[in-house]
A and B are shown apart, each in its own frame.
Chain A
Amino acid sequence: MASVTETDTRGAFNVDELREGVASALAEARRLGASGAEASLSLSRGMVVTVRLGEVETIEHTRDRGLGVTVYFGQHTGSASSSDLRATAIRETVRAAASIAKYTAADDCAGLADPDTLATDIPDLDLHHPWALGSEAAIELAQRCEAAARDTDARIRNSDGASVSSHEGVEVYGNTHGFLGTVAATRHGLSCAVIAQNESGMQRDYWYSAARRAGDLEAAEQVGRSAAQRSLRRLDARKLATRRAPVVYEAPVAASLLSHFVGAVRGSSLYRQASFLLDRLDQPVFAPQVRIDERPHLKRALGSAPFDNEGVATRDRDLVRDGILQGYVLDSYSARKLKLRTTGNAGGVHNLSIAPGERDLAGLLAQMHTGLLVTELIGFGVNTVTGDYSRGAAGFWVENGEIQYPVEEITVAGNLKDMFRQLVAVGSDVDLRGNIRTGSILIDGMTIAGS
């Protein structure tokens, strides 16, 4: 393996040591009398370089290690974790977990994943692409990115900098059902944030690129130019008078709508009956043309996983088809609480995707005709129990399908139950930079509060 930094003297990760660490944690758990145990050991290292106004600002060398252990004494559970991976520390961590299990109550849903759900075939998802990037090369890349941003327009008067990051990690998970799985992965990034300024004041925006393989990153100059253009278009923003209108969520912020959906169909929300989508399986929850699926095995994608955090096999599946809810997002515990089977989602969803439509963003704005284009959301005003939704926003007012002027200091509000049913269209401008993959989304009938 190529090393990530020129000063790293430790060389390649020793995966065998990690596997031995997991095995010894499981053995210690058995020795203490546990009926079952699972352990996860991870090692990652990387570098982050930031440049601002053309000069190096920071060079960070990252190196993180961790051990997480959960032990089961019959129906009693205890967990512990540590950043210390020495043999004595591993044993102490297991002992700390076992000690907690003496005090926790019996829980008939607790326990490892059922053996017949565990992954038997572990596909190689092509996630590991180390980048032989020295700090000098990283600095040069970040400088080119920021320079392109600053050169875009004279109104780019300040910068929060450009950043290049590269991380490489290995994670080993094992349990006392005999599962032992290893995943090696890399993640690289390039980002830039700049400030545009005129008589109306300052506006800041950013753009970034993220990929498993350095060659898949967007060109540095393009990232810089996008950051600059996004800042510039916010200048001279105004407030809006309060009104009801349709809203197009630009693709990068549209992903948040799908996160709220996942939060409502996650097992922990459902068994606590703390979800606005309780008992909606096989019922319409989205508009009829909506299809949402999960694709854990996409090669080199950012959310891919060959097995979940419990070793359960992951597979492609539909969550929503023709607007009707097909399944939930479950781990073994919540599945048992709901008397269902795990869906391989311990730790979250993997490459959640909503089927794109035919129109790009401009086409979606034409379809909306008059309404709000939201490009930024701030605040946490989402209630998973009720679906009530109220968040701060910035974006553009649109009339006759054309952007008229930028807007800020407004809120968009509604209820997610209604918003999902009024999801009129998804754009073809799919954003692939994360675990949720969506184009821009047009939603009818929201309340915009301003002056």
Chain B
Amino acid sequence: MSDVIERARGALLAPAGLGEAELDRLMGRLLDHRIDYADLYFQHSRHEAWSLEEGRVKSGSHNIEQGVGVRAVSGEKTGFAYSDEIDLPALLDAAGAARAIARHGGGTRAAARRPVAGRELYAPIDPIGSLDDAAKVRLLEEVEAEARRQDPRVKQVMASLAAVHEVILVVRSDGVLAADIRPLVRLNVTVIVEGAGGRREQGSHGGGGRYAYAYFLQGDTAKGYAREAVRQALVNLEAVPAPAGSLQVVLGPGWPGILLHEAIGHGLEGDFNRKGTSAFAGRIGERVASPECTVVDDGTLQDRRGSLNVDDEGTPSQCTVLIENGVLKGYMQDTLNARLMKVAPTGNGRRESYAHLPMPRMTNTYMLADRHDPQEIIGSVSNGLYAVNFGGGQVDITSGKFVFSASEAYLIEGGRITRPVKGATLIGNGPDVLTRVTHVGNDMQLDSGVGTCGKDGQSVPVGVGQPTMLIDGLTVGGTQS
């Protein structure tokens, strides 16, 4: 709580000699023009990555990124400058540049500083040091051995282990002082298998979250990723060309929730709706999905990759109901767009780093479980597609068209799962695809902790999830017409 703020001040401000007086001086400089709101975002991040191929950990890297973003907002206008030197002269310079967004004279006064407690969703630890380097190498080697053990057709195994330790501190003109210490780990395995006639296919799996590395050593977690990657690759060796055209599509639980992220998630970000450029603009209170659908964006899940104790503007995370029983309830907001839309911020103000401006971003976006049995859902389809794993997706929030690309899918024929088909891209229209969800399963799952969302050139870690669901009509981009 306040302990996190003290630790963040110790890591970010103290080494630069930035005490209360210096923060006051910076704020004063920013607010000297007609500025409504200003903030300082201090960040120190360390990243490491290790990667294995051909049976050996051949490369590793370590990266440090640190600096301060200085933002001044006047109405809808933002002035922004940043410095990778955390020292007073550099910051005063940046403040001078940022405040030039507004005219000289007038302006607000800084409010008294008050610490704001964030949630306690993950341990404030440094995961990089949570395992010694020799053990990291051994972990990757064990994952590789497990993959090769599954089947002699496994020809290539590539595995990578990554961790981030991030400390952030936000100082705002309205007095809010907030901080967060964010661990993040991830383990990924990709395998290439070779089958009859020299046909080669690949499979991938991985996971992680806001833990120490010990997460992967629990039980069978790491080896489970290897087995799953091999399983997927072997399924793909048998895959026949996918059908082309509009079909009934059953989506499996978990990572297929990327459907929600693309179909409605981005379209419900506050900046697009404030500007009126989203296909969902002005539609609060309207039906945008079938009554079985309730979708939330929830930054408060324990230990999850997409979770945050506070967002990057110092607003505590929350669970925001986006769609309730099919009706559009709310958007995801950062402070700027919340203020312009005259609603409360929702803890969705995120930025890739101090060198980027915050904007509304998702955290963990998922659909709640309903009552159907997943086997019955599949059994109800006479001719369709069952898709259980995906690569990535993308959306045009103005036209509403979105895509996501299957990496493991099967034909459903007469209510039974029959042959695997090659990965095809599915395309739909966000504002109406969820109105064609006819069955929602009782098996809600979140993804395993591998999601990264890109918007406007900025990447942030996210989570997705959903139960098994049936969509009555989605275009499948196969080659068999």
Contacts and interface: CB of A to CB of B under 8 A. Distances in A.
A104 B58 contact: yes
A202 interface: yes
A257 B85 CA distance: 42
Nearest to B477: A411
Given A103-B60, A379-B403, A390-B479, 16 more contacts: A55-B76, A56-B101, A77-B60, A79-B60, A80-B63, A84-B64, A104-B58, A107-B58, A379-B405, A381-B403, A381-B424, A385-B192, A390-B423, A390-B424, A392-B403, A413-B244
B84 A100 contact: no
B79 A78 contact: no
B357 interface: yes
B424 A97 contact: no
A379 B400 CA distance: 14
12 contacts: A58-B78, A59-B78, A104-B137, A107-B58, A135-B100, A158-B276, A244-B481, A272-B192, A383-B423, A385-B202, A390-B425, A411-B403
Nearest to A82: B64
Contact of A104 (B59, B66, B79, B81): B59
A413 B156 contact: no
Interface stretch (B23-31, B91-99, B165-173): B91-99
Interface in A1-58: 5, 7-9, 52, 55-58
Interface core residue of B134, B201, B404, B427 (most chain A CB under 10 Å): B427
Contacts of B398: 195, 202-204
Interface in A43-97: 52, 55-65, 77-84, 89, 93, 96-97
Nearest to A451: B246
Given A7-B97, A242-B245, A83 B405 contact: no
Contacts of A62: 82, 355
Contacts of A412: 477
Given A394-B401, A409-B401, A195 B156 contact: no
A392 B101 contact: no
B116 interface: no
A204 B133 contact: no
Interface string A403-420: 000001111111100000
A378 B98 CA distance: 35
A199 B289 CA distance: 22
Nearest to A10: B93
Across the A-B interface, give the 9 residue pairs with the lowest CB-CB distance, nearest first. Answer: A411-B477, A105-B56, A379-B403, A392-B403, A204-B398, A449-B244, A381-B405, A381-B425, A100-B60
A283 interface: no
A450 interface: yes
B391 interface: yes
Interface string B85-120: 100000001101110110000000000000000000
A84 B96 contact: no
A103 B133 contact: yes
Interface in B1-59: 50, 53, 56-59
Nearest to B51: A104
B375 interface: no
Contact of B425 (A8, A104, A386, A411): A411
A394 B402 CA distance: 11
A168 to B, nearest CB: 16
Interface string A154-186: 000010100000000000000000000000000
A103 B200 contact: no
Nearest to B96: A7
Interface of A: 5, 7-9, 52, 55-65, 77-84, 89, 93, 96-97, 99-100, 102-107, 110, 135, 158, 160, 195, 201-204, 234, 237, 239, 242-244, 272-274, 376, 378-381, 383, 385-386, 388, 390-392, 394, 408-415, 447-451
B61 A100 contact: yes
A381 B403 CA distance: 9
A110 B58 contact: yes
A201 B283 CA distance: 14
Given A55-B77, A390-B425, A411 B53 contact: no
A155 to B, nearest CB: 14
A389 to B, nearest CB: 9
A410 B477 CA distance: 8
Contacts of A93: 64
Contacts of A381: 391, 403, 405, 423-425, 477
B84 A64 contact: yes
Nearest to B202: A385
B401 A378 contact: yes
Given A388-B423, A392-B477, A414-B479, A59 B277 contact: no
B357 A449 contact: no
B475 interface: yes
Contacts of B202: 274, 383, 385
B392 interface: yes
B445 interface: no
Majority SS at the chain A contact face: strand
B352 interface: no
A449 B247 CA distance: 11
B277 A160 contact: yes
B62 interface: yes
A394 B242 CA distance: 21
Contacts of A52: 76, 275
Contact of A100 (B78, B96, B133, B480): B133
B449 interface: no
A451 B475 contact: yes
Contacts of A394: 396, 399, 401
Nearest to B395: A378
B67 interface: yes
A447 B481 CA distance: 7
A105 B277 contact: no
A16 to B, nearest CB: 19
B156 A272 contact: yes
Given A385-B201, A409-B428, A449 B475 contact: yes
A376 B478 CA distance: 18
A103 B57 contact: yes
A52 to B, nearest CB: 8
A379 B394 contact: yes
A107 B57 CA distance: 9
A96 B48 CA distance: 10
A243 B96 CA distance: 59
Contacts of B93: 7, 9
Contacts of B67: 83
B84 A63 contact: yes
B219 to A, nearest CB: 25
A64 B475 contact: no
Given A100-B61, A103-B57, A451-B246, A84 B84 contact: yes
A195 B276 CA distance: 10
A244 B155 CA distance: 35
Contacts of B425: 379, 381, 390-392, 411, 413
B179 to A, nearest CB: 20
Contact of A413 (B53, B78, B85, B479): B479
B156 A81 contact: no
A61 B246 contact: no
B450 interface: no
B60 A379 contact: no
Contacts of B136: 103
B79 to A, nearest CB: 5
Contacts of A65: 84
B422 interface: yes
Interface string B129-156: 0000110110000000000000000011
Given A100-B60, A103-B57, A385-B202, A63 B479 contact: no
Contacts of B328: none
B30 to A, nearest CB: 14
Given A64-B355, A412-B477, A100 B62 contact: yes
Given A83-B84, A273-B156, A447-B478, A5 B97 contact: yes
Contacts of A390: 242, 405, 423-425, 477-479
Interface in B203-255: 242, 244-246
